């Protein structure tokens, strides 16, 4: 069985702790099948899916070259709202959103370009940066839909410096699920 990979902005430990504290409070009142392990919080740049080790090493070499030749500066991001994906009465994903930041979109486009050069078929939907916090809501949810109310009640603006992105390998059977394979400085 081939391994699965993705590229993502790695969050600082302090940011993960703040989000985990919010989730601990929320989990007492709102029931999801799975709350994401804090070490697995990230902002996806490109989901790669299954890939051979040769293809991953080729990607790694090209990303290193690209990041060395087109050095980006670290940039600031702010977690500033909650949202849901899926049916409004039974959402699949509960997430924290980040403000629209030009530097993040530029980085995502650069990473996607390199991935496609190597032959990865990436999602064609518009990029929607977010941090997945929980999956599969398990109760009737007439009150759940108002993510803005949740933000006002539980959220806090969390600013952090995005200074690296990483190549993760997924291990579904483990907690945390994601293992860093390579890191790239921004």
Active site residues: 42, 130
- In the numeric block, the tokens 């899916």 are attached to 49
CA-CA-CA-CA torsion sign (65, 71, 73, 77)? negative
Query: CB-based contacts of 164: which residues, under 8 Å, 6+ apart?
Result: 9, 10, 183, 184, 185, 186
Q: Is 80 exposed, middle or buried (0-12, 13-18, 19+ CB in 10 A)?
A: middle
In three-state secondary structure terms, 75 is strand
């Amino acid at each position: 069985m081939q391994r699965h990979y993705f590229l993502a902005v790695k969050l600082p430990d302090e940011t993960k702790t703040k989000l985990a504290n919010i989730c601990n409070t929320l989990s007492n009142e709102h029931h999801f099948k799975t709350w994401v392990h804090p070490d697995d919080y990230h902002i996806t740049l490109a989901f790669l899916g299954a890939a051979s080790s040769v293809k991953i090493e080729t990607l790694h070499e090209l990303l290193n070259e690209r990041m060395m030749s087109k050095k980006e500066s670290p940039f600031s991001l702010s977690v500033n709202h909650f949202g849901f994906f899926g049916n409004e009465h039974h959402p699949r994903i509960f997430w924290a959103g980040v403000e629209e930041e030009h530097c993040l979109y530029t980085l995502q486009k650069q990473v996607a370009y390199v991935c496609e050069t190597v032959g990865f078929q990436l999602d064609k939907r518009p990029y929607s940066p977010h941090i997945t916090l929980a999956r599969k809501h398990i109760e009737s949810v007439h009150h759940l839909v108002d993510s803005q109310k949740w933000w006002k009640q539980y959220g806090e603006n969390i600013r952090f410096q995005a200074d690296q992105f990483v190549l993760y390998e997924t291990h579904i059977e483990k907690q945390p699920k994601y293992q860093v394979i390579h890191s790239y400085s921004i």
